[in-house]
Amino acid sequence: MSKVNILIVEDEKDIIKMLEYNLKKEGFKVSDTRDGESALEEARRGHPDIILLDLMLPGIDGLEVCKSLKNDPKTSSIPVIMLTAKSQESDKIVGLELGADDYITKPFSPRELIARIKAVLRRANDKGKLPEVFQAGDLSVDFSRISVCVKDKPVDLTAKEFELLKTLLQAKGRVLSRDYLLDTIWGYDHAMEIQTRTVDVHIRTLRKKLKSSARMIVTVKNYGYRFEEEEE
């Protein structure tokens, strides 16, 4: 089995050395870049299994790098873990909205980071049990192509929006709490107000994009959401 390839995007040499030492010790293959432009080039060329992305970078900052990665079909599926400072709370929200898979706040322990990396990789490899193409009313979801159509017209979803829709479909009508959606899609095992708002924002944008099919995503007051198929 080939080693998991991790790309570190960080401009502080001491942090890079610490990350490389601990990740290689754990058996990962590691490469690094020091700025946003190089990160985008390396991601498109080498297509790493996961990216550790610092937000404070020279040139193109981490948020712009994340946005570019998630908007590019060649790199949108690569999981991204943001490395942030405690003072960058608002940036964490923006990063998650742009499609980042998780974040970890500096200073962090190597043990915690490795646990986060393994959790993100598990979610990325979890294919779930769904038919190749799911059809409900005007909505059609092709899981093999990662594409969504409403009334035979393509709908452009971000990676997080697609995973959110997929998770709701997998539940087959069961109500999913915001905490569950956070844990399943973003990897948090506890919910904070700021994080639950992130779920609500993604649901709102997903509904807007699904148009006539949006009514099948039902809000359960003070709890969460469920997918309700329309009767023929």
b/e map 127-166, b = 16+ CB within 10 Å:
eeeeeeebeeebbbbebeeeebbbeeeebebbbbbbbbbb
Q: Say yes or no to pLDDT of 97 above 60.
A: yes
96 & 141 share domain: no
Question: Of 12-16, 94-98, 139-143, 185-189, which gets the smallest average pLDDT?
Answer: 185-189
Q: Say yes or no to pLDDT of 129 above 80.
A: no
Query: Residues of the chain with pLDDT > 70: what percent?
Result: 89
Which residues are bridge partners to 30 per DSSP? Answer: 6
- pTM of the model as a whole: 0.59
Q: Work out the average pLDDT over 87-108.
A: 78
Domain CATH for 202: 1.10.10.10
Query: Can you tell me the distance from the alpha carbon of 51 to that of 193, in angstroms, rounded to the nearest whole number?
Result: 27
Domain CATH for 75: 3.40.50.2300
Per the structure, the count of domains in the chain is 2
Confidence of residue 189 (pLDDT cuts 50, 70, 90): very low
Structural domain for 177, as ranges:
133-227
User: Rounded mean pLDDT of the chain?
Assistant: 86
Q: Is residue 232 part of a domain?
A: no
The predicted-structure confidence for 164-177, as pLDDT tens digits, reads as follows 999 999 877 788 88
Query: Can you tell me the distance from the alpha carbon of 125 to that of 211, in angstroms, rounded to the nearest whole number?
Result: 30
